[in-house]
Amino acid sequence: MAYNDNTTKRKRFKHLSQEERGAIEKLLEAGFGIREIARLLNRNASTISREVKREDNTAEKNRPEHI
């Protein structure tokens, strides 16, 4: 039996663009929830959630320590 590469479906992942990241930030500031933002950007809610979490961690690392 020959292996048919067309029978295997692979998910294609696409990184968030800078425009999408900016939109997420502005929509969060405007009070939109994760699921609402995901619907507006046609993305999965978990993608938006991970991006928000990633940004929170980055902001925390860039915050100066109190002495």
- CA 38/CA 46 separation, integer angstroms: 8
pLDDT grade for 8, boundaries at 50, 70 and 90: low
pLDDT of 5 above 70: no
pLDDT of residue 64: 73
pLDDT of 1 above 60: no
Residues 6+ apart with CB under 8 A from 19: none
What are the extents of the domains in the chain? 18-61
Task: Indicate the pLDDT class of residue 21, thresholds 50, 70 and 90.
Answer: very high
